């Protein structure tokens, strides 16, 4: 049974290595679903694909949520998309900030990155667990010059400071709501919601993974959460991982 979102246990660190690492340990020790871990500062913040996540102390939201999905693992590929949808909705509802999703789950304002999601999974004593890590730039306005994607924050978008802790309840509410939808109905509603919150469909994209580069048109999201890409030669591919850059508005540009 899905626990009510408001019944969460919170572990807060003024400084830790990574909230995802702390949440992973708690998961391994049997902490219940919806336990959350937050921090003011991470010394080894983790990003997707082995990247580091750098965040100025006390300026941004660093949140990890323990989940214990009951659905078969073949459905889990949509959870990264689900978390992205929940973040976009929480920002719209609680902060009146419009954002879009970039596959799989970057939170964007136009071409600038407002936040990211890192999902980690494992199994301890036959119990599967998942940690959904969310990093959201809230009040930081100065960023390292070498960011791969130009960053932004809520403060930069709105010109005012935002509460950080006050973002957590609306975020857990939208996350809980989409999670229950996924649990009850499966992937289709999540994919439909994700597609309503992106402007990537039909665009030319570059997918980079290690030394491999692939250019194509993003056509759709498949039932397993992968990106459906058509190459210039018409070859259809499903993309499961990679760094994605949007190159143009449509294939003819």
Q: How far is the CB of 222 from ligand BTN (least distance, A)?
A: 21
Rg of the chain's alpha carbons, rounded to an integer?
18
**Residue ranges in 29-48 that form contacts with ligand BTN under rule CB under 6 A:** 42, 45-48
Q: Whole-angstrom Cα distance, residue 151 to residue 147?
A: 7
Contact (Cβ atoms closer than 8 angstroms) between residue 68 and residue 41: no
Which of 53, 178 has the CB closer to ligand BTN?
A: 53
- By beta carbon distance, the residue nearest ligand BTN is 116
Alpha-carbon separation of residue 60 from 20, 127, 130, 136, 220 (angstroms):
15, 32, 23, 6, 32
Q: Which two tokens stand for residue 172?
A: 């857990």
Q: Which of 230, 229, 232 is nearest to 241 (CA)?
A: 229
Which of 20, 153 has the CB closer to ligand BTN?
A: 20
Which of 16, 226 has the CB closer to ligand BTN?
A: 16
Q: How far is the CB of 22 from ligand BTN (least distance, A)?
A: 8
Q: How far is the CB of 200 from ligand BTN (least distance, A)?
A: 16
**Residue ranges in 116-175 that form contacts with ligand BTN under rule CB under 6 A:** 116-118, 133-135
Q: How far is the CB of 250 from ligand BTN (least distance, A)?
A: 26
Q: Whole-angstrom Cα distance, residue 250 to residue 32?
A: 45
**Where is 22: in which H helix or E strand?**
helix 19-28
Which of 48, 197 has the CB closer to ligand BTN?
A: 48
Q: How far is the CB of 188 from ligand BTN (least distance, A)?
A: 25
Beta strands in 74-199 (DSSP E): 100-102, 106-109, 112-124, 127-136
Who's near 184: CB < 8 A, 6+ residues apart? none
Q: How far is the CB of 61 from ligand BTN (least distance, A)?
A: 8
Angle at 191 between CA 155 and CA 196, to 5 degrees: 50
Q: How far is the CB of 180 from ligand BTN (least distance, A)?
A: 23
Which of 151, 217 has the CB closer to ligand BTN?
A: 151
Contact (Cβ atoms closer than 8 angstroms) between residue 58 and residue 16: no
Binding to ligand BTN by CB under 6 A, coded x per residue (else -) over 197-236, reads: ----------------------------------------
Task: By CB under 6 A, name the one of 5, 24, 26, 53 that touches ligand BTN.
Answer: 53
Binding to ligand BTN by CB under 6 A, coded x per residue (else -) over 79-118, reads: ---------------------------x---------xxx
Q: Whole-angstrom Cα distance, residue 37 to residue 34?
A: 10
The residue ranges that bind ligand BTN (CB under 6 A) are: 18-20, 42, 45-48, 51, 53, 62-64, 106, 116-118, 133-135
């Amino acid at each position: 049974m899905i626990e009510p979102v408001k019944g969460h246990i919170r572990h807060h660190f003024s400084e830790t290595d990574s909230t995802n690492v702390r949440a992973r340990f708690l998961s391994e020790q049997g902490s219940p679903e919806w336990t959350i871990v937050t921090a003011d500062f991470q010394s080894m913040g983790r990003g997707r694909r082995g990247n580091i996540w750098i965040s100025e102390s006390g300026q941004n939201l660093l949140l990890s949520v323990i989940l214990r999905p009951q659905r078969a693992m073949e459905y889990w590929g949509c959870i990264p998309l689900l978390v992205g949808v929940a973040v976009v909705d929480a920002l719209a509802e609680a902060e009146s900030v419009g954002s879009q999703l970039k596959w799989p789950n970057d939170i964007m304002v136009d071409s600038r990155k407002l936040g990211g999601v890192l999902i980690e999974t494992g199994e301890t004593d036959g119990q599967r667990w998942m940690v959904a890590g969310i990093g959201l730039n809230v009040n930081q306005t100065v960023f390292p010059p070498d960011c791969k994607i130009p960053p932004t924050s809520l403060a930069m978008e709105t010109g005012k400071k935002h509460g950080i802790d006050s973002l957590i309840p609306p975020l857990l509410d939208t996350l809980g709501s989409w999670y229950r939808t996924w649990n009850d109905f499966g992937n289709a509603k999540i994919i439909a919601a994700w597609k309503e919150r992106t402007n990537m469909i039909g665009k030319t994209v570059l997918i980079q993974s290690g030394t491999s580069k692939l250019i194509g048109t993003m056509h759709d999201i498949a039932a397993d959460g992968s990106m459906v890409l058509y190459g210039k030669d018409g070859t259809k591919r499903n993309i499961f991982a990679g760094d994605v850059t949007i190159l143009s508005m449509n294939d003819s540009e």
